[in-house]
Amino acid sequence: MTTVKPSGHWQGVVPPQYVFARRRFKCVVLEPPDLKPGSWVGAGKVVLDDDTGEFLLTARPRKAEGGVRGFAANVYRSDDGEKFELVASLTKEQISEESGLSIHSIEGTQLLKDPLSAKWHFYVSVDAGSEFIWGGLYWQTLLLTATDIKGPWQAHGLVLKTDQAYDAYQSRDATIDIMDGKWFCLYKAMDGVRARRPALATSSDGIAWKKHGVFTIEGHSQRAFLSGTLFAGTNGPLFMGIEKMYSAEGIRQRKDIFADKHKITHGAGPMPSFVAYHVDYRNMNLELIFRAPWEPLSPYEHKEHPLLGYASIVHDASRNRVLIYVQAIDGKLTRRFGINETVERLILYESPLQ
C-alpha cells in the first residue's frame, strides 16, 4: 500500500485509522453454495495481478448437508474487485489425489506469485486427520503451484505441519505476503489444549518455511485469531485486518450447538475488531497501532456476531481506495450458532482515499 495524502500529512502505509473511519459497505462478492445452515464461502485472499491488472480471489465453499464440509479451493477473477467469475476449482478429491493425502475438509487459502519462477503458489489449509470430526482437530497447510492460474496444479506437500508444541493441533489459516523478497506467514497455531495464538514462519522461496514461534501481543501471551494482509511499513511489516481475542472464561460461557463429542465451537465467539499491528518479528511481539470494534454496516451481518474472522485487504491504487473483504455471518438466516448452524457469505467494504 503506497503513501497517499488525501487530507493530512503522513508517511508509509495509509493509516489504518483513516481506512477504518472511511469504510462503507459496497456489495456482496460471493454467495454460499446454498442458504441452508452450515453453508459458507470465504476464508481466502484477494490480490492484484500486476501483469493483467485483474483482481484474483480465493475462497473455499462449504456445506454441512451430507457431511460435505469444505469441498473445494476456488480461484476467481475480476476487473473491478467487485464482480468475480470462477476461473479454477480444485475439489478436495482432486487435491487428495494430487497430494496423496486423505482430506476431509478445506479451510483458509492464500494465493501469491513467486517473484523468481513467476509460478502461482496456492496455500490450502486441509483437515487430513485420521478420523472425520465436525470442524476438524488437526489442520495443516498444503502448497500447490501452477504456471497458469487455471492450472494444472502440482502439490508440493505440507509446508506448515503440526510439528511443534504450540501448533500441535493446527498450523493453518495463514496470512502470507512478500516484502523485500522475504515471505512472511502469520498463521493460526493451536496447541494441545486448543489454545489458538498467532505464530510466524518465514521463507526465501515460499516452499521451505522456518517457524519462529508464537507472538506476544503488546508483550503478553494472548489467545487470538488474526486474518488480513501484511504491508511493508516504514517501521517494518504492518498487519492490518480482523482480530478475534479469546479468553478461557469466554469460551466456557459460549452456548454453541455442538455437532459431535469434540465440542468444536463456531460463530458466537468474541466480537471482532479491526486492528493494525507493527510486526516486530525479531522480538516476536505484535505492537498495537490501532484497534476498534467492528460495527456491522450492512444488512448481511449479524448484529452481535457479524464476522467469522477471515479478511483480506487490498489497496486499489487505480481507483484510490482500500478494499476490505470479510466473511460475514448472516443475521437473518443464522438462527443458532455452531459448526453446522450459521450461513456465511463474502462481502466487501470500501474505504475511499480522497
Query: In this structure, is residue 48 part of a structural domain?
Result: yes
**In whole angstroms, what separates CA 335 from the centre of its chain?**
25
Which among 49, 33, 51 has a CA at the least distance from the CA of 41?
Answer: 33
Residue written as grid cell 521451505: 208
DSSP string, 239-277: EEEEEEEE-HHHHHH---B-SSTT----S--SPPEEEEE
Residue 249: its pLDDT value, please?
Answer: 73
Query: In this structure, is residue 303 part of a structural domain?
Result: yes
Q: Which of 127-136, 150-159, 250-259 shows the lowest per-residue confidence on average (mean pLDDT)?
A: 250-259
Q: Taking 60 as the threshold, does the pLDDT of residue 33 lie above it?
A: yes
Residue 99 contacts by C-beta under 8 Å, 6 or more apart in sequence?
126, 142, 144, 155, 157
Query: In this structure, is residue 240 part of a structural domain?
Result: yes
Sign of CA dihedral 303, 196, 159, 215: positive
Query: In this structure, is residue 39 part of a structural domain?
Result: yes
Query: In this structure, is residue 1 part of a structural domain?
Result: no
| Dihedral class, residue 22 (left if φ above 0, else alpha if ψ from -120 to 50, else beta) | alpha
Q: Taking 70 as the threshold, does the pLDDT of residue 211 lie above it?
A: yes
| Structure confidence at residue 247 as a pLDDT band (50, 70, 90) | confident
Q: What range defines the domain where residue 253 resides?
A: 19-352
pLDDT digits (tens, 9 = 90+) for 102-135: 999 999 999 999 999 999 999 999 999 999 999 9
Query: In this structure, is residue 13 part of a structural domain?
Result: no
Please tell me the total count of domains within the chain: 1
Q: What are phi and psi of 349, to 5 degrees?
A: -110, 145
| Structure confidence at residue 6 as a pLDDT band (50, 70, 90) | very low
Residue 354: its pLDDT value, please?
Answer: 78
Residue 153: its pLDDT value, please?
Answer: 98
Q: Taking 80 as the threshold, does the pLDDT of residue 81 lie above it?
A: yes
In a 3-state reduction of DSSP, which class is residue 45? coil
Q: Is the pTM of this model over 0.85?
A: yes
Q: What are phi and psi of 99, to 5 degrees?
A: -90, -20
Residue written as grid cell 484510490: 320
Residue 8: its pLDDT value, please?
Answer: 62
How far apart are alpha carbons 334 and 248 in whole angstroms? 25
Terminal CA-CA length for the chain: 15
DSSP string, 169-231: SEEEEEEEEEETTEEEEEEEEE-TT--EEEEEEEESSSSSEEEEEEPEETTB--EEEEEEEEE
Here the CATH number for the domain that contains residue 24 is: 2.115.10.20
Residue 9: its pLDDT value, please?
Answer: 73
Residue written as grid cell 455452531: 338
pLDDT digits (tens, 9 = 90+) for 173-188: 999 999 999 999 999 9
Query: In this structure, is residue 9 part of a structural domain?
Result: no
Q: Taking 60 as the threshold, does the pLDDT of residue 7 lie above it?
A: no
**Region 267-271: what's the mean pLDDT?**
90
Measure the CA angle with vertex 310, ends 73 and 289; round to 5°: 140
Mean pLDDT, the chain, as a whole number?
Answer: 95
* Residue 197, amino acid: R
Query: In this structure, is residue 10 part of a structural domain?
Result: no
CA-derived radius of gyration, the chain: 19
How far apart are alpha carbons 252 and 311 in whole angstroms? 26
Residues in the chain: 354
How far apart are alpha carbons 179 and 48 in whole angstroms? 15
pLDDT digits (tens, 9 = 90+) for 92-104: 999 999 999 999 9
**Region 154-158: what's the mean pLDDT?**
97
Which among 63, 104, 70 has a CA at the least distance from the CA of 341?
Answer: 63
| Structure confidence at residue 253 as a pLDDT band (50, 70, 90) | confident
